[in-house]
């Protein structure tokens, strides 16, 4: 992926990893468009970053995604990159059998959302001389967190879907890059996470991702050092140990 001169759409761009990547890419000379459901939050980000633009999007709503994609292409005909970042993570109590609503909401947001949006934008992206689809999975795609089973499953599915999409697009102008964050200081699971010393500082994560994108333009996966124990647990034969440690820490 070229690091500048793009027009990039970032879902969930109002906070957390989405906002951090939006601001970093904006600073590199890209036209950045952030999308999300909270207009006031989006407005605050664009006000702090002159030249950045925003669009409202309900990533859980299939009809809204279709209309949003049409509007995005009309407003930004040079659009050549999308970062599927919007996501939710909620704990589930499976024995209590009260998790179904959470599971369905998580699947709609984390899995169907990126698939629907990418599918809607792909005809436009395929017309660009160079384009990129970026997916945001998680270290939990490779070693699941038991208290968030559906979240972990959706991220494993995004990893697998990214591989399939990349293979199908290998002879086109569209590349596919997967970014797999570790546990990062955001508010994904609440305000406590943003100050948890066990989580990777957001600025450090963002800097490492940007460095990888800039110095390894052919990379298909962006795995920061902190995430590598999870990403390669199965390959290294340490899955059981890593799984036990992860779930003891967050159980």
Please report where in the chains the tokens 């709503």 appear, as a residue. Answer: 61
3-state secondary structure of 241: helix
- The answer to whether residue 183 is catalytic is no
Q: How far is CA 151 from the centre of its chain?
A: 13
Helix (H) or strand (E) holding 178: strand 174-179
Q: How far is CA 182 from the centre of its chain?
A: 12
Q: How far is CA 63 from the centre of its chain?
A: 21
| Pairing mode of beta strands 174-179, 53-56 | unpaired
Catalytic residue among 68, 151, 161, 243: 151
The residues annotated as belonging to the active site are 151
């Amino acid at each position: 992926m070229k690091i500048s001169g793009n027009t990039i759409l970032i879902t969930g761009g109002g906070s957390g990893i989405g906002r951090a990547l939006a601001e970093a890419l904006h600073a590199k000379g890209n036209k950045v468009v952030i999308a999300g459901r909270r207009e006031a939050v989006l407005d605050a980000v664009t006000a702090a970053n002159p030249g950045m633009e925003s669009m409202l999007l309900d990533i859980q709503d299939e009809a809204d995604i279709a209309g949003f994609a049409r509007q995005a292409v009309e407003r930004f005909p040079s659009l050549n990159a999308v970062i599927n970042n919007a996501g939710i993570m909620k704990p589930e109590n499976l024995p209590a059998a009260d998790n179904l609503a959470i599971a369905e909401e998580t699947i709609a947001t984390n899995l169907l959302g990126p698939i629907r949006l990418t599918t809607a934008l792909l005809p436009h992206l395929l017309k660009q001389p160079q384009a990129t689809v970026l997916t945001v999975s998680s270290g939990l795609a490779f070693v699941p967190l038991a208290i968030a089973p559906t979240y972990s499953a959706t991220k494993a599915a995004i990893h697998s879907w990214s591989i399939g999409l990349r293979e199908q697009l290998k002879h086109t102008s569209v590349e596919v890059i997967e970014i797999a964050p570790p546990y990062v200081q955001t508010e994904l699971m609440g305000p406590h996470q943003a100050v948890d010393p066990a989580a990777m500082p957001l600025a450090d994560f963002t800097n490492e991702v940007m460095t990888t994108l800039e110095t390894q333009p052919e990379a298909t996966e962006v795995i920061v050092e902190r995430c590598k124990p999870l990403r390669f647990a199965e390959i290294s034969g340490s899955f059981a140990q890593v799984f036990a440690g992860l779930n003891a820490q967050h159980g």
